[in-house]
C-alpha cells in the first residue's frame, strides 16, 4: 500500500485487474485485534514519558491527544475504506502520516531530553558534585 488514495482503495477493496481479492472482515479483525492493544501500550508508554519533558503543559496535552487520535484514525481508516466508502482513503493516509510524525517527534523529544539530562549530570559531577556533597 502506498501513500495515494488509489493504492489504499486497491489494498482494502481489491482489484480485478491485479487479481487481488478485497480484504475480508476476518483478516482485518485479526490485524485490528493485534494493533489496538499493542499500539495502545506503546503510545501510553511513550506519551507518559513525554510528560517529564520540559515543555508547556497545554502543548504536551495537545500532542498526546494528537498522537492517540492519529493512531485511532490510522486503524479505523482501513475499516472505513473497506466497509463505508472508498472516498475515505485520505483519512487512512492522514492517520498514518500523523501517527508516524507523532512517533518520530515523541522519540526525538525523549532522546533530546535524556541527552540534556545526561549532560547536566556530567557537568554537575565535573563541577564538584551536588549541594549535598558541598554541605558534608
Element (DSSP H or E) covering residue 120: helix 89-126
Q: How is the chain split into domains, by residue range?
A: 5-135
Per residue of the chain (136 residues), what is the pLDDT tens digit?
788 999 999 999 988 888 889 989 999 999 999 999 999 999 999 999 998 888 899 999 999 999 999 999 999 999 999 999 999 999 999 999 999 999 999 999 999 999 998 888 888 788 866 555 555 4
Supply the angle between the helices 89-126 and 57-83 in degrees, to the nearest 10: 150
Residue 130: the pLDDT is 55
Rounded-to-integer distance, Cα 45 and Cα 64, Å = 11
CA separation for the pair 132, 126 (Å, rounded): 15
Q: Which pLDDT does position 15 carry in this prediction?
A: 83
* Predicted pLDDT of residue 17: 83
**Angle, nearest 10°, between helix axes 25-50 and 57-83?**
180
- Residue 122 confidence (pLDDT): 82
Amino acid at each position: 500500500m502506498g501513500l495515494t488514495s488509489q493504492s489504499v482503495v486497491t489494498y482494502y477493496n481489491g482489484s480485478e485487474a491485479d487479481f487481488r481479492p478485497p480484504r475480508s472482515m476476518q483478516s482485518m479483525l485479526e490485524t485490528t485485534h493485534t494493533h489496538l492493544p499493542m499500539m495502545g501500550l506503546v503510545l501510553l508508554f511513550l506519551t507518559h514519558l513525554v510528560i517529564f519533558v520540559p515543555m508547556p503543559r497545554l502543548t504536551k496535552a495537545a500532542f498526546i491527544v494528537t498522537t492517540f487520535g492519529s493512531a485511532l484514525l490510522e486503524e479505523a481508516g482501513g475499516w472505513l475504506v473497506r466497509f463505508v466508502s472508498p472516498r475515505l482513503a485520505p483519512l487512512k493516509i492522514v492517520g498514518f502520516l500523523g501517527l508516524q510524525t507523532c512517533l518520530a517527534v515523541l522519540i526525538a523529544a525523549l532522546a533530546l531530553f535524556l541527552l540534556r539530562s545526561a549532560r547536566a549530570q556530567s557537568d554537575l559531577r565535573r563541577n564538584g558534585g551536588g549541594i549535598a556533597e558541598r554541605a558534608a
